[in-house]
Amino acid sequence: MTALIIHGHFYQPPRENPWTGSIERQPSAYPYHDWNERIHDECYGPNAFAHIIGASNTIECTLNNYANISFNFGPTLLSWLELQHPKTYRRIIEADKDSVGRRSGHGNAIAQAYGHAILPLCNERDRLTHVLWGLADFRFRFEREPESLWLPETACDHQTLELLIEQGLRFVILAPNQAERVLRGEGESYSVADGSIDPRRAYQYPHSDHSGRSIAIFFYDGPSSRAIAFERVLSSSQMLVEMFKGAAQGGAMVNVATDGETYGHHFKLGDLALAHALAVEAREQEFQVTNYGEFLARHPPEFEVEIKSGPEGEGTSWSCAHGVGRWIRDCGCHTGGEPGWRQQWRGPLRLALDFLRDEAARQFESVGADLLIDPWATRNYYIELILDHGRSRAEFLARHSKQILSPPDQMRALTLLEIQRNALLMYTSCGWFFSELSGIETLQILKYAARVIELMDELGLPSPRARFLGMLAAAESNIPAFGTGADLYLRFAEPAADVVPSYS
């Protein structure tokens, strides 16, 4: 039987107000309170309780789609689901446990880098923390070791893949356009730079240190994934499975990857098409519905693969034809907006945030060195307190402090760590993804920046605010009334401006 693997990347950017921890009303999500609620109602919940409709238009049974697909959920989205929709959250966790039992010990869930930052654009310390926090979040929720980690926007470079190898992960999922060359052994190789890599097998990517360590790479089927995401193939479960049958062509596997929100949010009733396809038509066409871990155990890689370095060696991704340019410059890739809008604001925005990150890091190292044995190692472990609010702060600090800290020094150390948490969340990829500087996603990352500056002020540290605003002033909105990034920051990001911009 041909293996069939459908991967869903379920993710929403963190939307909570950094000061209150709650999500404010988002008018663009009307009639829902906010976009998390809307997408839960259209996608996350329906996929947890997907109906199989019989011939008489009655519900024959209810399925948990997460038990039949490979998936990852953003850690910040899972934390919201756990609090706001515990039934859906439990179904997600149960689906992984069920799949572990049915898939030879390999669960459907994989981890995700914590803050959905573009990892190749992170500095080495931040990239490590995003990965470590994502793995820790997975262990905390799914109570097992992860086999893989979803790279936000599948953005990767050689350093990122080697970090995953060093963390002991078995495989990663990339887009076909990210492959450069396949090596068949004995010096034989061929180029796949045009996206022609065969997606019906796994490939080996070795660590450059010649240690023998490696990671398997699955390249998803590009045409089939695009058809699901953009070409309305989800309008019929029969059409969906016929497409898989054509893609198989006698190979051992068909694998596709899309945003999980495709199934119900982007395409109404996509959750039902997915449920029926996997429960009925796929089995009729003799597909074995499985996941990457189980397939890899039965079909280890035969060939090595080289990946593209991307323009200027910055890396590549699945959603930018220019490598990772979408998150650093006006490369031409954007979503939404009006004719003539440009994204020249992306570069100044990143430069301003990089400046703020580095100033916060400098103070974290300097002040933290008086309190903590290893400030950066302590930051990596700080995920323990983020995940478990009942965990003793005093006990945590006792393990990481140079000496017994007084209550004021304990508060000082925790504030330094909160500065770092907010600094990491400033790089959520959605802040650059869309067309306009004043979008809610970009305002969200500016709010994290405002929180960083406020906490630095609370500690009496030199304030980077004036220079930060000066750098933001170089980022210009496409909407004249909104001015620059500095204007938007002052109007919407700082706590006194608790409003949402309107384009009307």
Q: Which of 43, 34, 51 is nearest to 8 (CA)?
A: 43
- Give the model confidence (pLDDT) of 256-277 as tens digits: 999 999 999 999 999 999 999 9
Nearest one of 430, 364, 485 to 14, comparing CA atoms: 430
**Alpha carbons 277 and 264: distance in angstroms, whole number:** 14
pLDDT of 503 reads 42
| pLDDT score for 498 | 54
Distance CA 49, CA 91 (A): 8
249 phi/psi in degrees, rounded to 5: 45, 40
CATH for 2-307 is 3.20.110.20
Classify the phi-psi angles of 483: left when phi > 0, otherwise alpha if psi is within -120 to 50, otherwise beta. left
Per-residue pLDDT tens over the stretch 61-104: 899 999 999 999 999 999 999 999 999 999 999 999 999 999 99
- pLDDT 10s digits, 6-54: 999 999 999 999 999 999 999 999 999 999 999 999 999 999 999 887 7
What Å distances lie between residue 121 and 377, 381, 410, 424, CA to CA? 21, 22, 33, 12
Domain residue extents for the chain? 2-307, 329-493
- Report whether 65 contacts 275 (CB < 8 A): yes
pLDDT tens digit sequence for 338-380: 999 999 999 999 999 999 999 999 999 999 999 999 999 999 9
Q: Could you report the per-residue pLDDT of 288-302, keeping only the tens digit for each?
A: 999 999 999 999 999
Q: Identify any residues that bridge with 452 across adjacent strands, giving them in sequence order.
A: none
pLDDT in tens, 420-442: 999 999 999 999 999 999 999 99
Give the pair of three-digit tokens for residue 22. 């709650």
Q: How far apart are CA 128 and CA 271, in angstroms?
A: 35
Give the pLDDT mean for 304-314. Answer: 97
For residues 327 and 318, what is the distance between their CA atoms, to the nearest angstrom? Answer: 13
Question: What rounded mean pLDDT belongs to the chain?
Answer: 95
Which helix (H) or strand (E) is 432 found in, with range? helix 430-433
User: How many other CB atoms sit within 10 Å of the CB of residue 249?
Assistant: 10
pLDDT of residue 497: 43
